[in-house]
Chain A
Amino acid sequence: MKHKVATTINGRRHEHEVEARLLLVHYIRDEAGLTGTHIGCDTSQCGACTILIDGKAIKSCTMFAVQAEGRNITTIEGMAKDGQLHPLQQAFWDEHGLQCGYCTPGMIMAAAYLLEQNPNPTDDEIRKGLEGNLCRCTGYVNIIKSVKSAAATMGGATATPAAKTAAGRS
């Protein structure tokens, strides 16, 4: 038996008929066709599928699509505005906060919620805020720098670049 589900994703209304058991992440990827939201585990550990639902970061593998009925969803594809990257996207680019890029959409969405809650986080607050998102490439060093840099761009008053930068030859 299929169920109607209507959501707003990145400002656009979507209506589909889905099985009750369809995970939200599969709904976003396979039904709405937004493949920027990734899947990296089966057990909600990795955070690659993190999205915003009504502004709050959620791992989209932890919800069924039908539970998103009527909700306002933001995925990585909805972060850039008017052709301009979101400050977090720009900061991940500027600070080399990604390598393979697979965890990056989830990482940016989790960071967006973190900065919404705490516009001027310390390094340790960023670590804590992103502990639900795994990255295998970067050692997180440049991810922390990216979030810090974005916080500064977005108006965090006393944000400064993260300490102990590399090599100093750039």
Chain B
Amino acid sequence: MAVTTMIGAKIHRREDPRLVSGEGRFVDDFTRPGTAYMAVVRSPHAHARIKSIDLTAASKAPGVVAVYTHKDFAKVIAGVMATAPFFVPEKKQVPPRFPIADKEVVFQGEAVAVVLADTKYEAADGASLVDVDYDVLPAVTDLGKALEADGPKAHSGAPDNVGWEQTFIPDDPAAMKEADVVVKQRIVQQRLAPTSMETRGVLAEYSKADGTMTIWMSSQNPHLIRLLLVAGLGFAESKLRIISPDVGGGFGSKISPYPEDYLVPAAAKLSGRPVKWIESRTEALQITSHGRGEIFDVEAGAKKDGALVFLKITQYIDVGAYMPLASSVQTVACLVSGGAYVWKHIAARTVGVLTNRVSTDPYRGAGRPEATHNVERIIDLLAVALKMDPAALRRKNFVKEFPHTSHFGLVYDSGAYEGALDKAMEIAGYEKLRREQDEARKKGRYMGIGISSWIEICGFGPSAGTAPGTGGLGLVDAAQVRVFPTGSVAVYVGTHSHGQGHDTTFSQIAADTLGVPYDSIELRHGDTGEGPAFGHGTYGSRSLAVGGMAVHKACKKVVDKASKLAAHMFEANEADVVFDRGQFYVKGSPDKRKALGEVAFAAYGGSLPDGMEHGLEAVAYFDPVNFSWPFGTHIVVAEIDPETGEVDLKRYVAVDDCGNVINPMIVDGQVQGGIAQGIAQALYEEVVYDDESGQMKTGTLTDYLVPTANEFPMFELDRTVTPTLDNALGVKGIGEAGTIAASAAVINAICDALAPLGIKHVDMPASPDRIWKQMQNAHGMSHDGKEARK
């Protein structure tokens, strides 16, 4: 087969034959001989003191192997869980967290005891017999009330509920006064449950004989989890191996370490048996970190001609009861708040608020969907106030020169924002749509057109920019390339694929860089027992721009060494050796060639140049010089049923730019899935807690509305290609783009549809119920002869 130009080709995924055949291997598909199954007894209360735990009945139940509580785990787990949140230096309080509650529970679902039994049914039976006596305490369930001085505290004895408070850039009253038009809006980002179709799960096996712990778990970043577990569990990294096999989706929820990641291996050590725990869906909704959960106060001003003057953002994050590792990543919503536009001034402040709910943590986009939603909504509100077309207002204020340094000191690498807007408007038929809208409005129909010109920061990230915010870890990534004597190749990477198709795309990169057949490359990830010593896994649309570049770099190292060896074999100067699609020749003699495979064999042979070591393999760590900045424009056409308030998405157009594309099929798939999750937030999904008790009301998929195939139109996709100049492949990232863009496009279309009623803003999810009430309210005010307002 052809050995070149795999990059950019539509290659069908090599992952798929096993996955369509039921031959995938997910955590629950692994069982070790003698496995005991773990069930977790969880707090039914949002906030309570544990008075006593009676284990008598559970311990005697059939099949029960052991019942453990805090006092047992305290013997084998040292210290507290890693909770130091990333990127916000000004933390007020970080509640220490042990993986299982001792005297106080602070959210519904917090672990109180675990039961091990011979079967999962017996474990569940045993757990139901654990009798916990609670003293219920007042719960903090509302962001606003949490900040009141006299209100209850999420943790007993805490001075307040402020987790962090930081002003990134203060107000500039002088700049604000320059605006002719000012708009303000409070925007709610409801809590979302990430809901990967495979829940979390952990299987751990301890070998007393050699002191090793092997853990199979559903994780986006097994190396990071290993780093965090070794301290708590008392192992060297060489003795603790984490295998994240096929992982059924993550969306950010499988980044941070969870209590069960500690409890399962600890229980294996305590009991001497392999232990397996697979999260139920109700547990997933209750205890796996949620996304979003924020309130933003957004204010912006512009000159009469539409020139943007200032943007002011205040972010309140419902952190939940504890701060997982990445909980403050959502503050990136402040750092990219300006979006695709030039502002004279931006002010941004974030407040992290502790509540008696499960923690929030990154969920697809993490801060960037919120930033896009804020800025794209406020641009539309300004357009209404200025009586300007929203596309024209965007165009006038786009960043047009790159690299562009933002108010926050971040450098947008490359972009052509107008190009994406133009293309999206052309595909949508924007002018025609506006005419159709005029006609529709005359007939009393509510048709709207919503634009979202999104940008994102991704490709996390340069070590100089990330290590100070993570407690010292540079978010670089690694690859190891082994060329075997016969020329076949194994590539090991520190990223992790859970749907992104890296086995295919990274092999495309390796095939082109080495010039060897794609099929000769084996791509492996997800096992800390092999490959490079460290890697950061997959999140934040980083895998290609960081991990893919590591593959490229390691392959280059291999080629460099092979060139030296080829020169030796040709008895020529290295400078005269040409590497051409997997073959070496000496300048001027292109018909006399040696393939990489021949050189590889020689690398294990008897005639090497002086000083050259045997073998042909390389490890490379890639440290990007910058974050990467994809962008695009999405346009939504929606119509609202005046009788029911239901939103009908008529069309969804997306033009995205992620720089150079390795595999267009996979890029489109990422965009489609991302858009679906953004629409899901805009229209359907919300984690709901009871205001009084803090009890979750959306504890099953009956109540938490993950959309079905019925809820989405076909998406009309296209792209522009603006490579980044910051890496050799010119690639950025695409995993989160759709989600970052979509909610704003949908809500802008809804608000545009409802503009004749004077409705300026609709919060999410824009359910029929919510929209119908706003329409009724607007109608009522109109009937009174007053100006219709929200």
Q: Report the bound CA distance from A162 to B716 in whole Å.
A: 12
B10 touches A104 (CB 8 A): no
Q: Report the bound CA distance from A105 to B22 in whole Å.
A: 6
Given known pairs A76-B22, A100-B196, the reply for A43 and B710 (CB within 8 Å) is no
Question: Which of B22, B198, B246, B665 has the most A CB atoms < 10 Å from its CB?
Answer: B22
A137 touches B712 (CB 8 A): no
Q: Report the bound CA distance from A105 to B29 in whole Å.
A: 14
B501 touches A99 (CB 8 A): yes
Residues on B with beta carbons closer than 8 Å to the beta carbon of A34 = 22
Residues on B with beta carbons closer than 8 Å to the beta carbon of A168 = 718
Residues on A with beta carbons closer than 8 Å to the beta carbon of B21 = 36, 76-77, 79-80, 85, 89
Given known pairs A131-B708, A138-B676, the reply for A85 and B20 (CB within 8 Å) is yes
Which of B20, B500, B715 touches A92 (beta carbons < 8 Å)?
B20
A142 touches B669 (CB 8 A): yes
B247 touches A139 (CB 8 A): no
A115 on the interface (CB 8 Å rule)? no
CB-based A-B contact count at 8 angstroms: 200
B530 on the interface (CB 8 Å rule)? no
Residues on B with beta carbons closer than 8 Å to the beta carbon of A130 = 708-709
Residues on B with beta carbons closer than 8 Å to the beta carbon of A140 = 676, 708-709, 712
Given known pairs A142-B672, A166-B717, the reply for A137 and B701 (CB within 8 Å) is no
A41 touches B281 (CB 8 A): yes
A92 touches B714 (CB 8 A): no
Which of A136, A141, A166 touches B195 (beta carbons < 8 Å)?
A136
Residues on A with beta carbons closer than 8 Å to the beta carbon of B15 = 101
Cβ distance A44 to chain B, nearest Cβ, rounded Å: 9
Q: Is the interface of A mostly helix, strand, loop or mixed?
A: loop
Given known pairs A40-B197, A127-B710, the reply for A164 and B716 (CB within 8 Å) is yes
Given known pairs A40-B198, A127-B709, A164-B716, the reply for A101 and B24 (CB within 8 Å) is yes
B108-143 contacts to A (CB < 8 Å): 120-121
B714 touches A162 (CB 8 A): yes
* Chain B residue at smallest Cβ distance from A100: B499
Which of A77, A102, A142 touches B26 (beta carbons < 8 Å)?
A102
B589 on the interface (CB 8 Å rule)? no
A135 touches B197 (CB 8 A): yes
A48 on the interface (CB 8 Å rule)? yes
Cβ distance B705 to chain A, nearest Cβ, rounded Å: 10
A45 touches B247 (CB 8 A): no
B240-281 contacts to A (CB < 8 Å): 246-249, 251, 278, 280-281
A23-43 contacts to B (CB < 8 Å): 26, 29, 34-43
Cβ distance A111 to chain B, nearest Cβ, rounded Å: 11
B165 on the interface (CB 8 Å rule)? no
Cβ distance B707 to chain A, nearest Cβ, rounded Å: 8
A170 touches B248 (CB 8 A): no
Given known pairs A77-B22, A80-B21, the reply for A101 and B246 (CB within 8 Å) is yes
Q: Which B residues are closer than 8 A to A by beta carbons?
A: 10, 12-13, 15-17, 19-26, 28-29, 120-121, 195-199, 246-249, 251, 278, 280-282, 498-501, 661, 664-677, 700-702, 706, 708-710, 712, 714-719, 738
A-B contact pairs, 18 of them (CB 8 A): A35-B28, A38-B198, A38-B248, A39-B28, A42-B282, A45-B700, A79-B21, A93-B20, A99-B249, A101-B16, A102-B197, A103-B197, A108-B20, A131-B708, A131-B709, A137-B197, A138-B673, A162-B714
